[in-house]
Amino acid sequence: MLRTSTLLRQVPVACRTLALAPASRRTFTSSLLRLKPALTSKGTDVSGSAGVEGLHRKDTPSATAVLETQSGEKVDVSAGVPSIVKGDWVLFHPVYSPEELRAVQVLHHEAKTFSDKIAVYFVRLLRWSFDLVSGYKHKPLPPNSNNMSLEELREGGYIMTEHAWLSRMLFLESIAGVPGMVAATLRHLRSLRLMRRDAGWIHTLLEEAENERMHLMTFMAVRKPSWFFRMLVLGAQGVFYNLFFFSYLVSPRTCHRFVGLLEEEAVVTYTRCIQEIEAGHVPKWENYPAPAIAIDYWRMKPDAKLLDVIYAVRSDESTHRFVNHSLANINPDKDVNPFALREPNMLVKGGKLAFERDEAEQYVEESLHMIDEGRQKHDDPQQSQHQQSQHRQA
């Protein structure tokens, strides 16, 4: 029997292959579109084929293609040629129920340790720079706001145009995709260098980086930024990537806290945006259709709106908030990533900031128990059924 205090460190990462949580597997079907020229990368505003971001070959049944050789033998040459795309074309990411989309709360982590306080300081600095560059303002509405027109509210700096909201989102997302990739790179290099297992962190970090990039691709489908804006992003990326890289080498825990705090700000921004749209302050977006790339990514209904997309993005940010604060609460050198096997749903992640270390440990124990149950069902289905019926009778 494993000691509870060490359990978190001893989960074999290979357990991931046991297909633990069927709920986390996604299935979708999409027809392969014949877009010309086929080899040309598609724009973010174009409905690309399901493989536009990389195809998951394991889930793609091959087209039937049989050739007859000179000797009359029939040979299947279809391997790897998909006829139906059914499965993932991106890394794992949650798809939300309507209840989950509305379960996200604005929460804030109270800084207690010195490392937390450093993270808070840097987030404030970054937030101030974001606000300056993206022209973001959020003054409380004046008492007579009901008698003011949208134009007057905008001129008074109380509400923002959809153009200003997009500047904010595009800049935020272009930076938000950096930390996960840097952290995954450094953990990957560390694993190679020390010839040690990574304990399941790399995938979750890569998933976060890709998820942020998909947010950017989604908002790019709504508006293409100017060259001046792109230059700002270029400069910011150059500075932020290198700063985060060296900071992560020094203190991964502080960096995850920093990202958790930054994601809190993202949840605040998207919550305000949702409130503004629903209050009628961004009229162009009230019925604005969701971009095709977002409908495919979040498995939305064909008639989904941009507002539905922003709800989904806010839920993603809440996941990043939860994951990074939780990772900041465990030991980056010795502990297993508690989310390597499964993730809590948004009803948990939306209303709770993070797992403390003992909660993370308990979560991993539950995951291992689920794996054991699944293995028993697989090895001896009759015995498993018998146990289940005994359990029901009891």
Residues in touch with Fe ion (CB under 5 A)? 173, 176, 212, 215, 263, 317, 320
Smallest separation, CB 93 to Fe ion (Å): 11
Q: Which is nearer to Fe ion, 306 or 371 (CB)?
A: 306
Nearer of residues 85 and 354 to Fe ion, judged by Cβ:
354
Measured from the CB of residue 137, what is the shortest distance to Fe ion in angstroms?
20
Report residue 76: phi and psi, to 5°.
-80, 115
| Cβ–Cβ < 8 Å for 390, 37 | no
Q: Least distance to Fe ion from the beta carbon of 232, Å?
A: 18
CA atoms within 13 A on the CB side of 229: 19
Nearest distance, CB of residue 261 and Fe ion, angstroms: 11
Nearer to Fe ion, 78 or 185 (CB): 185
Looking at the Cβ atoms of 198 and 317, the one nearer to Fe ion is 317
d(CA 383, CA 179): 47
Q: How many CB atoms lie within 10 A of CB 274?
A: 19
> Which residue number, 116 or 173, has a Cβ lying nearer to Fe ion?
173
- DSSP H helices, 20-113, are 98-101
In the bound complex, what is the minimum distance in angstroms from residue 324's beta carbon to Fe ion?
A: 9
Give the span between the Cα atoms of 348 and 341, in whole angstroms.
Answer: 16
Burial class of residue 312, CB neighbours in 10 A (0-12, 13-18, 19+): buried
CA distances from 287 to 252, 284, 304, 346 (A): 42, 7, 9, 25
Between 260 and 338, name the residue whose CB sits nearer to Fe ion: 260
Give the three-class secondary structure for 305: strand
Return the closest-CA partner of residue 120 out of 132, 107, 109: 109
Q: How far is the CB of 330 from Fe ion (least distance, A)?
A: 20
Q: What is the smallest separation between the CB atom of 320 and Fe ion, expressed in angstroms?
A: 4
Complex with Fe ion: residue 134 or 367, whichever CB lies closer = 134
Say if CB 27 and CB 89 are below 8 A apart. no
Name beta bridge partners: 68.
74
Q: Which of 93, 120, 115 is nearest to 208 (CA)?
A: 93
